[in-house]
């Protein structure tokens, strides 16, 4: 009688990055604690800047450069989102540009796409919090975001010193970097990327323009739900599109239910810090998982000091609007992509 073989459970091959995780937790814990004590919204922007900066690993060769890019671009993006929230037309145009920028960066690979994702997250949060913020102008939002990011950069320099590394590492030559990015972009068919860029531009523009009209001060739940569906898929099909949009909606609904069930802001802050520790230590490699992971933590972090969690319906309704805005343009461009494939196949057969 053959022996019974039990299934083997393999641990993930990637080792946790506990150093970068501790930098992220300490970077976010200080502004969140000050925000709990003072109830000032400025500390929330400092915490968001700290989390976005902590996405980069300071021990990598280009980690500090990426951290500085995340701080600078995130501060500009959050300030522009705060400024554009006063007009639906400005939001429409700015979100259309950022949707196109995201699609363009995704063309050059996952690392460039992650940089574009951070820009879009900051834009969504800047627009969503304009209606309830007590800050005077977009420059104050950008400055506080930058202060939080620079606090994490200081911790990152300390971490590099503990490991005996140079304060500022030697960077790769820009010429070699651009050559590698062009090589990656040539592998993607142009027709497929153009349809993806049009889909990202239209979906994100509609989300930014309608966020204030449909969702009010919960507009970031709408725009971030749409953002969770904007990535370059390997397979373009109707079933896959529905799965992607449904997963983004399910994530937003789950986060809303979690926030609604917690008794106080202190419990929310403790949960967010625990998620930051685990999520940064076990950061996802795949772009889709990385996208959902960072959108989810950013959304909970932005709502960590909110006092209106008893009103669950506006958040769920905004996420449902985002699901519809992501699904309808996606179905339209999926049909166009399938039509182009049907036209190109007979032409290839005739040429052969």
Q: What is the DSSP string of 176-208?
A: HHHHHHHHHHHTS-HHHHHHHHHHHHHHHHHHH
- Rounded CA-CA distance 297/289 in Å is 12
**Span 288-296, average pLDDT:** 92
Per-residue model confidence (pLDDT) at position 215: 65
* Residue-level pLDDT at 219: 86
User: Dihedral of CA 281/285/289/293: which sign?
Assistant: positive
Q: For residue 351, is pLDDT > 50?
A: no
pLDDT at position 346 over 60: no
In the numeric block, which tokens belong to residue 7?
């299934």
Exposed e or buried b per residue across 212-226, where buried means at least 16 C-beta atoms within 10 angstroms of its C-beta: bebbebbbbbbbbbb
Least confident of 9-23, 84-98, 159-173, 226-240: 9-23
Instruction: Determine the angle formed by the axes of helices 18-38 and 42-53, rounding to 10 degrees.
Output: 180
Confidence of residue 226 (pLDDT cuts 50, 70, 90): very high
Average pLDDT over residues 182-207: 84
Residue 152 in tokens: 């994490």
Would you tell me how many other CB atoms lie within 10 Å of the CB of residue 301?
24
DSSP state of 17: -
Lowest mean pLDDT among 69-73, 220-224, 291-295, 343-347: 343-347
d(CA 296, CA 299): 5
Closest-CA residue to 128 (of 36, 255, 214, 69): 214
| Over residues 42-58, mean pLDDT | 93
Q: Which residue has the tokens 């968001």?
A: 48
Q: What percent of the chain has pLDDT over 90?
A: 45
pLDDT exceeds cutoff 70 at 133? no
pTM of the model: 0.89
Q: What pLDDT shows up at residue 134?
A: 64
Residue 120 is predicted with a pLDDT of: 95
pLDDT classification of 170: cutoffs 50, 70, 90: confident
| Total Cβ atoms within 10 A of residue 161 | 11
C-alpha to C-alpha distance for 288 and 265, rounded to whole angstroms = 30
For the chain, what is the mean pLDDT? 84
Share of the chain above pLDDT 70, in %: 88
Alpha carbon distance 219, 324 (integer Å): 14
Between 200 and 343, name the one with better pLDDT. Answer: 200
- Mean pLDDT, range 298-316, rounded to an integer: 86
Return d(Cα 284, Cα 162) in angstroms, integer.
25
pLDDT tier for residue 345 given thresholds of 50, 70 and 90: low
H-only helix segments in 187-264: 190-210, 219-227, 238-261
What is the number of helices (H) and of strands (E) in the chain? 13, 0
């Amino acid at each position: 009688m053959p022996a019974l073989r039990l299934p083997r459970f393999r641990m993930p091959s990637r080792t946790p990055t506990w150093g970068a995780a501790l930098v992220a937790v300490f970077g976010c814990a200080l502004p969140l604690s000050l925000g709990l004590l003072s109830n000032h919204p400025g500390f929330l922007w400092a915490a968001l800047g700290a989390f976005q900066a902590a996405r980069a690993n300071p021990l990598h060769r280009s980690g500090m450069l990426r951290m500085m890019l995340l701080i600078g671009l995130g501060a500009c993006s959050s300030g522009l989102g705060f400024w554009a929230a006063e007009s639906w037309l400005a939001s429409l145009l700015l979100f259309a540009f950022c949707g196109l920028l995201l699609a363009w960066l995704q063309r050059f690979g996952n690392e460039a796409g992650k940089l574009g994702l951070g820009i879009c997250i900051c834009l969504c949060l800047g627009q969503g919090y304009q209606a309830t913020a007590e800050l005077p102008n977009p420059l104050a939002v950008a400055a506080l975001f930058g202060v939080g990011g620079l606090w994490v950069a200081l911790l990152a320099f300390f971490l590099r010193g503990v490991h005996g590394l140079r304060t500022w590492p030697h960077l790769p030559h820009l010429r070699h970097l651009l050559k590698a990015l062009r090589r990656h972009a040539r592998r993607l068919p142009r027709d497929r990327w153009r349809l993806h860029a049009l889909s990202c531009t239209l979906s994100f523009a509609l989300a930014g323009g309608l966020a204030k009209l449909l969702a009010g001060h919960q507009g970031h739940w709408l725009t971030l739900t749409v953002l969770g569906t904007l990535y370059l898929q390997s397979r373009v099909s109707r079933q896959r599109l529905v799965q992607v949009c449904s997963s983004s909606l399910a994530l937003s609904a789950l986060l809303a239910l979690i926030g609604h069930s917690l008794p106080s802001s202190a419990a929310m802050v403790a949960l967010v810090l625990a998620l930051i520790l685990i999520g940064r230590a076990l950061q996802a490699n795949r772009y889709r998982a990385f996208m959902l992971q960072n959108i989810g933590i950013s959304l909970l972090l932005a709502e960590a000091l909110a006092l209106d969690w008893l009103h669950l319906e506006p958040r769920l309704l905004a996420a449902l609007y985002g699901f519809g805005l992501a699904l309808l343009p996606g179905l339209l461009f999926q049909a166009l992509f399938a039509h182009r494939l049907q036209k190109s196949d007979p032409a290839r057969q005739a040429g052969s």
